[in-house]
């Protein structure tokens, strides 16, 4: 699994930096800096179907949790975590932290 992780074979964390930036952008749009954009996200005018961003964020978080659980079960019986595993785990924690920050801000602002 370590080689797979180092090679970027895990779909949920392939581009952790972009994912964190995207969720940070969403967080900033919900912090009250731009009321017009908040209203746009809330009402989504001009679209026949709306997207519930809270549900999407929670869904992503659940998929991320599955990846972290795979990591846990793979390494739980080992004495040492290899470099690829350490890198994966740090990326996962970084992304989880940003997703939780975004979710918290989105809920507080709603």
pLDDT of 8 over the 80 cut: no
Number of domains in the chain: 1
CA distances for 32 relative to 10, 44, 105, angstroms? 34, 17, 10
Could you read off the pLDDT of 14-30 as tens digits, one per residue? 789 999 999 999 999 88
Radius of gyration of the chain (CA): 17
Mean pLDDT of the 36-52 span:
88
The neighbour count for residue 13, using CB atoms within 10 Å, is: 21
d(CA 41, CA 94): 25
What range does the domain containing 79 cover? 2-109
Q: Tell me what percent of the residues of the chain surpass a pLDDT of 90.
A: 39
What is the value of pTM for the model shown? 0.79
Distant-in-sequence, close-in-space partners of 95: CB < 8 Å, separation ≥ 6: 12, 13, 16, 19, 20, 23, 64
């Amino acid at each position: 699994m370590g080689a797979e992780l180092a090679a970027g074979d895990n779909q949920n964390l392939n581009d952790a930096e972009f994912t964190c930036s995207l969720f940070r952008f969403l967080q900033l749009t919900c912090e009250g800096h731009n009321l017009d954009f908040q209203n746009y996200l809330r009402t989504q005018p001009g679209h026949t179907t709306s997207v519930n961003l809270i549900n999407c964020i929670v869904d992503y978080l659940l998929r991320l949790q599955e990846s972290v659980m795979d990591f846990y079960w793979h390494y739980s019986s080992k004495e040492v975590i290899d470099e690829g595993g350490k890198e994966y785990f740090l990326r996962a924690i970084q992304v989880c932290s940003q997703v939780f920050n975004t979710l918290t801000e989105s809920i507080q602002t709603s």
